[in-house]
Amino acid sequence: MSEKPKKENYGADSIQALEGMEHVRMRPSMYIGDVGVRGLHHLVYEVVDNSIDEAMGGFCDEIDVVINEDNSVSVKDNGRGIPVDLHKKEGVSALEVVMTKIGAGGKFDKDSYKVSGGLHGVGVSVVNALSIHLRATVHREGKIWEQEYERGKTMYPVKPIGETDFRGTVITFRPDEEIFKQTIEFSYETLANRMRELSFLNKGITISIIDKRNKDEKGEFISDIFNSTEGLKEFIRFLDETREPVIGDVIHMEGEKNGIPVEVAMIYNTSYSENLHSYVNNINTHEGGTHLSGFRRGLTHTLKKYADASGMLTKLKFDIAGDDFREGLTAIISVKVGEPQFEGQTKTKLGNREVSAAVSQSVSEMLENYLEENPNDAKIIVQKVILAAQARHAANKARDMVQRKTVMSIGGLPGKLSDCSEQDPAICEVFLVEGDSAGGTAKQGRDRNFQAILPLRGKILNVEKAMQHKVFENEEIRNIFTALGVTIGTEEDSKALNIEKLRYHKVVIMCDADVDGSHIETLILTFFFRYMKELIENGHIYIATPPLYLVRKGAKKKYAWSDEERDEIQKEFGEGCKIQRYKGLGEMNAIQLWDTTMKPSARTLRQIVIDNGAEADRVFSMLMGDEVPPRREFIEKNAVYANIDA
Ligand code: 0RA
């Protein structure tokens, strides 16, 4: 997860109706979602997607990504090479058409199997328009051809520059700082995670990535090579590395139904959470859609049928619900759809009706066979489902207690909540504060008009390890639910969230800037990630950043958020500075806390977003799960906060 600037919605229709490179530069968010960190990385994905397309057509099996020293990125593939011959209609080289005409990508190759995702296929010309410089080099039929562009404008006609034995395409681009004002610095971690994901989703392709900006302790550039021979099966093993499986191996199926390629992999583990990740044309469909509902239907139908036939349910006093079949389930569903219709707030929900039956039938067939052939695993799965149903009943009772309180609104707010006077959720904020003492300071320091304070006692429950009913019985967690006004669970789906009544549009986690504080922050984030993911997805969750130092000299004083900043202030003030290190929020008085951390005009809030759902799931299960060794390794590598809030 990471921070991100406010998103701008864009529709597929507006992309169709577009004209010209100028328009891309005028309204970049319409094409790439935003011009922050996320949009920046999308540029790379768009270029790589073209190479993935080429690989899916069977013409390419190697893609190399290089982050160059100057923060430009090169993507090289060993495909057929973008054609360089004259494009009759346009009167220039086909390469130039691909690079400079919006929506031209792949137009002249209709027969090829082109379903990869990118930004819903806006094309590499968009990347070109948003780059200060781009160079396209094509190796074809013994010759090397080249063309360069500045902000999307052709610098010279395509020209031959040498001879070659290689066949393929190399694109090197440097994002335009005029467009990406926030930063043009690529994150190796983010790009590598996506390349890994792509290699799992498209087995057989070798994708390498190398960062030429930094060397490791051995003096070598940081790099990874991803190659998956088993596709989603390996993806599941990777995601569930720190979870304990309850069945022998990953259940994996690949097939085609009604012309729709469907690949599914799944396993049951000892955890209580459900981890479903779905993809359409390599795009992570966060909001699900018809493929996901098809999967759910197929799974429920088949397992229910098997359980009924096995006679294991006769003693059960209550019904089994859909989500009982998915407790402790990790699954990935990947489909390729010719003309995907994306819906939903973030356009990541598949709308195509025909896909539902295709996936549901595929899953039913696969599972039926699997259960027949693996009666031991089948028994384990059914027993697990029964346990989940029993636990759900206990959880429902506990949850109803929470919700009954919520419904009795006024009297129902937690006693520890110091509410604000304003009623409009859009302008209200609530601070979840570590500890009663810091809570007290925050209460004095806040602007009571729109800022509410909810102190949390010590470490909140680790929801990654707890069963659902324990989560709902936990007092701190109940306080969070009641304070936020959010309810959870319907008859159909015990985890469905009702966020319409959300009482504050900013939920700010405020912890000490030390190891314990980070741990508590992670616990709270884990809770939101597992139980209120929509709040994160809708951009409601923030982290406050209290300062680390106060530097004083005479009447002058300044706060510092890092050692470097502290040193700079010291230089500025000169000899004789007094430095106070804040070990916790409790060491600040109310005015200081307001001035540095709570006052809207001065504070920095980090908004939490999920960059890569599968990776976030893995990180949380690793950080918060049972298996200690990988967690320690992970924390020692210090990638933790890079992944969660960087
Ligand atoms: C259309 C036709 C042909 C190649 C490509 C597209 C192509 C595009 C990209 C983008 C990145 N790498 C690529 N590699 C190939 C060639 C058709 C032919 O040679 O017959």
Q: Which has the closest alpha carbon to 77: 193, 208, 190?
A: 208
Strands 86-87 and 143-150 turn out to be unpaired
Question: Which amino acid makes up residue 205?
Answer: I
Atom 18 in ligand 1: which residue has the minimum CA distance?
80
pLDDT bin (cut points 50, 70, 90) of residue 8 is very low
The b-or-e profile of 538-576 (16+ CB within 10 A means b, else e) is: ebbbbbbbbbbbbbbbeeeebbbeeeebbeebbeebeee
603, two tokens: 């504070």
Residue 145 is inside which H or E element, if any? strand 143-150
Question: Ligand 1 atom closest to Cα of 77?
Answer: 12
* Burial (CB count within 10 angstroms: exposed 0-12, middle 13-18, buried 19+), residue 146: middle
Mutate to test the pocket of ligand 1, among 47, 54, 56 (most ligand atoms within 8 A of CB): 54
What is the structure's pLDDT at 514? 82
**Cα 52 to ligand 1 centroid, rounded to whole Å:** 11
**Cα 535 to ligand 1 centroid, rounded to whole Å:** 42
Q: 111: helix, coil or strand?
A: coil
**Cα 81 to ligand 1 centroid, rounded to whole Å:** 5
**Cα 80 to ligand 1 centroid, rounded to whole Å:** 5
Give Cα 582 distance to the centre of its chain: 32
Q: Summarize pLDDT for 532-542 with one digit per residue, the tens.
A: 999 998 899 99
What is the structure's pLDDT at 367? 94
Return d(Cα 602, Cα 638) in angstroms, integer. 29
- Using the predicted structure, report yes or no on whether residue 376 has a pLDDT greater than 70: yes
**Cα 60 to ligand 1 centroid, rounded to whole Å:** 10
Residues with CB under 6 A from ligand 1: 50-51, 54, 77, 79-83, 106, 109, 169
Average pLDDT, integer, range 611-618: 87
What is the structure's pLDDT at 121? 55
What is the structure's pLDDT at 115? 42
Packing angle, helices 375-407 and 475-484, rounded to 10: 60
Question: Ligand 1 atom closest to Cα of 47?
Answer: 11
Distances (CA, A) of 319 to 322, 380, 385: 10, 19, 11
149, two tokens: 């562009």
| Lowest mean pLDDT segment, chosen from 153-167, 390-404, 457-471 | 390-404
Return d(Cα 153, Cα 517) in angstroms, integer. 50
Strand partners, 149: 134, 154
Q: Summarize pLDDT for 480-496 with one digit per residue, the tens.
A: 999 999 887 665 566 67
Residues 6+ apart with CB under 8 A from 559: 547, 549, 550, 551, 595, 596
Mutate to test the pocket of ligand 1, among 45, 82, 140, 171 (most ligand atoms within 8 A of CB): 82
**Cα 109 to ligand 1 centroid, rounded to whole Å:** 8
What pTM was computed for the model?
A: 0.82
Atom 8 in ligand 1: which residue has the minimum CA distance?
82
**Cα 224 to ligand 1 centroid, rounded to whole Å:** 26
Q: 310: helix, coil or strand?
A: helix
Mutate to test the pocket of ligand 1, among 116, 128, 169, 173 (most ligand atoms within 8 A of CB): 169
Active-site residue list: 434, 512, 514, 516
Q: Return the CA Rg of the chain.
A: 27
pLDDT bin (cut points 50, 70, 90) of residue 629 is low
Q: Which has the closest alpha carbon to 84: 22, 11, 142?
A: 142
- Using the predicted structure, report yes or no on whether residue 386 has a pLDDT greater than 50: yes
Average pLDDT over the chain reads: 87
- Using the predicted structure, report yes or no on whether residue 509 has a pLDDT greater than 90: yes
Give Cα 138 distance to the centre of its chain: 34
106, two tokens: 């792949």
Mutate to test the pocket of ligand 1, among 50, 134, 140, 173 (most ligand atoms within 8 A of CB): 50
Q: Are 574 and 552 contacting, i.e. CB atoms less than 8 angstroms apart?
A: no
Q: Which has the closest alpha carbon to 137: 214, 92, 76, 66?
A: 76
Atom 20 in ligand 1: which residue has the minimum CA distance?
80
| 183 backbone dihedrals φ, ψ, rounded to 5° | -170, 150
Atom 2 in ligand 1: which residue has the minimum CA distance?
109
Q: Are 264 and 333 contacting, i.e. CB atoms less than 8 angstroms apart?
A: yes
Sheet of strand 556-560, all strands in order from the earlier edge strand to the far edge: 556-560, 549-553, 578-581
Q: Summarize pLDDT for 430-451 with one digit per residue, the tens.
A: 999 998 889 999 999 999 999 9
Return d(Cα 210, Cα 131) in angstroms, integer. 21
Q: Are 448 and 474 contacting, i.e. CB atoms less than 8 angstroms apart?
A: no
Atom 3 in ligand 1: which residue has the minimum CA distance?
82
Q: Which has the closest alpha carbon to 466: 377, 527, 380?
A: 527
